[in-house]
Amino acid sequence: MTQTLEAAADEQADRTGPPNPAPRVRRWARLEFDNWALLLLPLLGFLTLVFVIPLLLLLSKSFTDPAVGLANYSDILTNPLYLKVLRNTFVTAITVTLVTVVIAFPFAYLMTLATPFWRGVMMIAVLIPFWTSLLVRSFALVLLLRDTGVINTVLDSVGVIDEPIPMLRHLSGVMFGMVQITLPFAVLPLYATMRTIDRRLLLAAESLGARPSVAFWKVFVPLTIPGVFAGLILVFIQALGYYITPALLGGPQNTMIGQLIVEQVSTVLKFGFAAALAVVLLGSTLILLAIASRFVDMKKYLMGSK
């Protein structure tokens, strides 16, 4: 489907119009509002109650709890411990994002080249983890990465290592796990973009004398940029907000902002401070999305093939 949902919807509305266009409907239609639109109200009302209002209260709490003012925010910005968590969150998220997209790119590219059978196999390999429990996958990664885990046992038994490589509670473990979990979010938009690229363009470039590698880098890669960009943003947003995976795989050195939020609520009961951290996290997420949506239609990619 090349057109966006919205455009298609508009088109359909224009084509068929409201059923039985009575005069009353026509009057509403002039205000660009009709009876069909009323069907949106239950969901909008519901989301307002359980989503929008709680978020607004969270925002207000960050400025008012325990006292009115900017104390919570200045706490974040002045305490080196919290600054370290913020820096760590962004550094980890950026690294995870880059590694993920670098691994996803050749994989998605190969999906466009593969025979239908192998493409199916690759697609299933992407979709199964996409839809299986994040928690179970993180737990499985613990089983893989432990000192007595699968990777170390296998490496030891084939004689590559004498001592287990410490991965769990280290940055390497967090990276291994987070990339595993975010990989489908990069593969799906990349594949969606690459699939629509006309491969005859490559042939044209080659017939005009470009070597295959030149044709690939100068013709194919630039055309994949919307997909790359969508993948980068989706993975980065995911990575910024993760709680479960870094909490299970990382050590105290790798604390991310999600963990700090939960800790502030569950152990020290500093709701206002946790709210301020959440506002910082949400603000970063929304700013990134706003920037991204200027360049690509994020809505098209957001759902992947979920």
Partner 1 sequence: MTRTLTRVLLGVIAALTVCYLLLPILIVIPMSFSDSSFLNFPPEGLSGRWYQRLIDDPTWLHSAATSMRVALVSTVCAVVLGVLAALGLVRGRFPFRGGITALILAPVIVPYVIVGLSVYIVFLRIGLTETTLGLVLVHTALAVPYVTINVASGLVSFDRNIELAAQSLGSGPVSTFFRITLPNIAPSVFAGAVFAFVTSWDEVVTAIFLTGPRMTTLPVRIWSGVKVQVDPTVAAISALSLFVILAAFLALGAGKLLQKALRAYRSRNVPNVIGVQA
Distance CA 299, CA 233 (A): 12
Give the separation between CA 170 and CA 92, rounded to whole angstroms. Answer: 12
Answer yes or no whether residue 116 interacts with partner 1 by CB under 8 A. Answer: no
281 binds partner 1 (CB under 8 A): yes
Q: Please tell me whether residue 57 binds partner 1 under the rule CB under 8 A.
A: yes
The reply on whether position 258 binds partner 1 by CB under 8 A is yes
Q: State yes or no: residue 265 binds partner 1 (CB under 8 A).
A: yes
Query: Which CB sits closer to partner 1, 9 or 70?
Result: 9
Q: Spell out the residues 6+ positions from residue 30 whose beta carbon is closer than 8 angstroms to its own.
A: none
Q: Minimum distance between the CB of residue 59 and partner 1, rounded to whole angstroms?
A: 9
**Nearest residue (CB) to partner 1, 226 versus 292:** 292
Subset of 29-48 contacting partner 1 (CB under 8 A): 29, 32-44, 46-47
Which of 71, 94, 98, 125 forms a contact with partner 1 (CB under 8 A)?
125
User: Which amino acid type is present at position 93?
Assistant: A
Neighbours of 97 (CB within 10 A): 25
Q: Which has the closest alpha carbon to 259: 13, 30, 82?
A: 82
Stretch that binds partner 1, among 75-83, 134-142, 191-199, 224-232 (CB under 8 A): 134-142
Q: Rounded distance, CA 82 to CA 73, Å?
A: 11
Q: What angle do CA 108, 175, 96 make, to 5 degrees?
A: 55
Task: Locate the DSSP E strands across 8-77.
Answer: none
Please report how close the Cβ of residue 220 comes to partner 1 at its closest, in angstroms: 13
300 in contact with partner 1 (CB under 8 A)? no
Among the listed ranges 90-98, 158-166, 192-200, 239-247, the one in contact with partner 1 (CB under 8 A) is 239-247
- Rounded alpha-carbon distances, angstroms, from residue 144 to 13, 62, 86, 150: 53, 39, 28, 5
8 Å CB contact between 103 and 110: no
What's at 80, amino acid-wise? P
Residues 166-225 that bind partner 1 (CB under 8 A): 180, 183-184, 212-213
| CB nearer to partner 1: pick between 52 and 70 | 52
Under rule CB under 8 A, which residues in 63-102 are in contact with partner 1? none
